[in-house]
Structure 1
Amino acid sequence: MVPQRVSLLTLGALRLPELRKFYQLLGWEETEASSDEYAVFKTAGVFLTLFPLEELAKDAGVELQSPIEGFRGVTFAINVNAAEEVDSVMEKVRMAGGKILREPSDAFWGGRTSYFADPENNLWEVAWNPSSVFDERGAMIDF
């Protein structure tokens, strides 16, 4: 059986120091392993790491075609505890230099949502879902 969990997500970075700075400006805590060559951010249950794109491709044993600049078909989500938090989080993202793709709005499914892109066009949703359940660390365990 393959364990049903996600432990670590790695973003291949074109300009790692600049991308690292963006996540620092969001106020995200790093581990001692972080540097401008490999950055590790703590989140609720999953580590987010930044690694040079060319090195990531080499490590995975794949050929790097060309730097991807548009939508990659993947989004990440930050789920928050209250509807008004979507708006305050997006304001912090705006101040850190994130590109707001969709301003906060009420969602058809009863929550509130917004989207932004980091400096290398990785897409993030910030959402409040009224049925979300979080554990004591802030990891979402149900919705």
Structure 2
Amino acid sequence: MDQRVSFITLAVRDLAASRAFYADGLAWEPALDVPGEVLMFKVADRVVLSLWDETAFEAEVGQPINRGGGIAPITLAHNCATTEGVDRVLAAARVAGADPVQPGEQREWGGYSGYFADPDGFRWEVAYNPGPIGQEVLP
């Protein structure tokens, strides 16, 4: 198996709310938009973020979604070339309706990052990582 990720799929409660947040609020351009079913965004070379209506997700995966308390044990990340870029993205997410979870701050690992949540509570890290791996993921 090749070492890569092709799709990241998130089951969402309200696809219209996700569309309003990502497409309208953050101005992301959908690569595929099937109302009531799925919304897909090309987020990198050969990588797609898929937002799938949770009922359709459960029908295909075959198990009910466990939505217990707390946050999902996953973060998605958007890296920026500067700390100012981090603050701009966090501000844009707030305008789009994101729940500002944590503002940008210096981290003990040498970078700068903050977090926001999308309409389903999935946490996005917005980060400036000055190390080689952080620079490698920038466009």
TM-score of the pair, normalised by structure 2: 0.88
Aligned pairs for 1:1-143 within 5 A: 2-24=1-23, 25-31=25-31, 33-36=32-35, 37-45=37-45, 46-62=47-63, 64-68=64-68, 70-131=70-131, 132-134=134-136, 138=139
Rounded to whole Å, the distance in 2 between the matches of 1:69 and 1:50 is 21
Task: Give how far 1:27 is off.
Answer: 1.6
Q: Secondary structure, in 3 states, of the residue corresponding to 1:119?
A: coil
Offset at 1:22?
0.3
Deviates more, 1:87-96 or 1:34-43: 34-43
Q: RMSD of the alignment, in Å? A: 1.7
Q: Identity of paired residues, percent?
A: 34
Contact 2:38 2:50 in 1 (8 A): yes
Task: Give the conservation status (yes or no) of the 8 Å contact 1:78–1:126.
Answer: yes
Return the alpha-carbon distance in structure 1 between the equivalents of residues 75 and 97 of structure 2: 18
Distance 1:21 1:86, change over 3 A: same
Q: Number of residue pairs matched?
A: 134
Q: Structure 2: any 5+ residue segments left out of the alignment?
A: none
Q: Do the aligned residues in 1 keep the contact of 2:113 with 2:126 (CA within 8 Å)?
A: yes
2:29 match: secondary structure: coil
Query: CA 1:123–1:4 in 2, change beyond 3 Å: closer, same or farther?
Result: same
CA contact (8 A) 2:58 2:65 kept: no
For structure 1, list consecutive stretches of 5 or more residues without a partner in the other structure. 139-143
Q: Distance in 2 between matches of 1:117 and 1:61?
A: 27
How far the C-alpha of 1:129 sits from its partner, in A, is 0.3
The answer as to whether partners of 2:129 and 2:135 remain within 8 angstroms in 1 is: no
